[in-house]
Amino acid sequence: MSKKKSHMPEILSDPEKHAAATRPEKQRNRNNRIFRGFCVGAAFSSVGMLVLLILTLLGLGVGELTKTFLSNPPDPDPAQAGFFPAIMGSIWLLVLVPLLALPAGVATAIMLEEFTPRKPVLKRIHSLLQLNITNLAGVPSVVYGIIGLTIFVSMFGFAGKSGESMVEWGIRSFDQFYSETDQVLLVPVDGPHAPEAVLTEGLEALTTSGEKVRIHVIGEDAPWPEDEELSLRTLRDYDTPGRVHDRSWYYFRVPFGRGILTGALTLMLVILPVIIIATQEALRAVPYSLREAGWGLGLSRWQTVWRVVFPSALPTVMTGTILAISRAIGEAAPLLMIAGIVFITNPPGNIMDDFTAMPLQIYNWAQRPQQEFHDLAASGIVVLLTILLCFNAIAIIIRNRSNKALS
């Protein structure tokens, strides 16, 4: 049997053939250097633009980061304008959105990835759901704002007139009367839409301090009582009230209206496809041998997912969640559809209260012509980035601790 001759000595002995053989290798090395240089240049350009943007914002906004700015409500005077209601509104959203989106997103991803149906009809439904979730990840956020306006604010228009509640919990309604001595008297009524209270002698009312008193009613021409205690609870029979409401911290209504719960649910819709897809990718990255080991130990399918698969995928799930929440906190378009640019002077007291958020307030200031408001917008962006970094740091710590527990 003849041995195959090697051409290497011939190539090394002939300089022209050696140069021709090494030319492709030199070209590959040159291409590698060019591509590496392009990647390094693109990375430095991106980081440089980001650093320049942050330095510009710090230069414009740090001077406005005062106690007045952080504690005051918005004001037409830039010197007195503050950011506090917007900060608290965004913190409410940062707490509510993960609480709503994480369970729904993770449960959906586990159902789609770990419990794939075997029947042909169910398989087609499964494929359709997967396709729709993938498509929803690319839908513009303003579309979700329209969805939130239709579903959560007005309940498809089935919940009655705009702004009218069908069901309410945690609310007390009063008819508010003012006496001639400027004493405020609150007469309890049965509900927000109950008929107006009729003034009668001895009608029970509450003062602003919470004290129960009995109203003294006099006619139009009757003299005002000289007794000071009696005069404080005296009303004319023609006095008309105004309806006021005392909402508890657990106040809830249907439809949801334009409150903070509606904003959180809308932002949940924005980030839900991202969380589902990220969780699916994390579950796929878990080796199949871990599932087989769980089954071999006698665990059921659900026990294997809950005790073996999901803990292994949790760090990656947290990474996707961090990115999704970072997107949600900076969204302005869907919140603009729901809340609009409104003048809010108080932070939310419950999940149904009207609210504003940092992106909305920044947008409001940025569109004004005065340079002072532009500086306030830059300060608001600095505060927004700081709060976002704090929440991301907390999420990263949780992710790293869960990762160490598994290693």
**pLDDT tens digits along 145-169:** 999 988 888 887 765 555 567 788 8
171: its two tokens: 């609310």
E strands within 95-238? 167-178, 184-189, 204-206, 212-214, 216-218, 234-236
pLDDT average per 10 residues of sequence, the chain (407 residues) = 50 55 74 91 90 84 84 89 92 92 93 87 88 88 90 75 72 89 88 86 87 89 86 88 89 88 94 93 91 90 91 88 87 86 84 91 90 90 88 79 61
pTM of the model: 0.81
Angstrom distance (rounded) from CA 288 to CA 309: 9
Nearest-10 crossing angle of helices 358-366, 84-114: 130
Angstrom distance (rounded) from CA 206 to CA 398: 49
The closest of 350, 187, 333, 332 to 257, measured between CA atoms, is: 350
The residue extents of the domains of the chain are 67-159+257-406, 167-254
Angstrom distance (rounded) from CA 205 to CA 211: 8
Q: How far is CA 295 from the centre of its chain?
A: 39
Task: Map residue 173 onto helix, strand or coil.
Answer: strand
The three state secondary structure string of 30-60 is HHHHHHHHHHHHHHHHHHHHHHHHHHHHHHH
User: Phi, psi at residue 318, to the nearest 5°?
Assistant: -65, -35
pLDDT at 1: 45
Class of domain 67-159+257-406: mainly alpha
Q: Which residues contact 293 (CB under 8 A, 6 or more apart)?
A: 308
**pLDDT tens digits along 161-211:** 555 677 888 899 999 998 888 889 999 998 888 888 888 888 899 988 888
pLDDT at 40: 93
pLDDT at 407: 52
State the DSSP H helix or E strand holding residue 250, giving kind and residue range, or none if neither.
strand 242-254
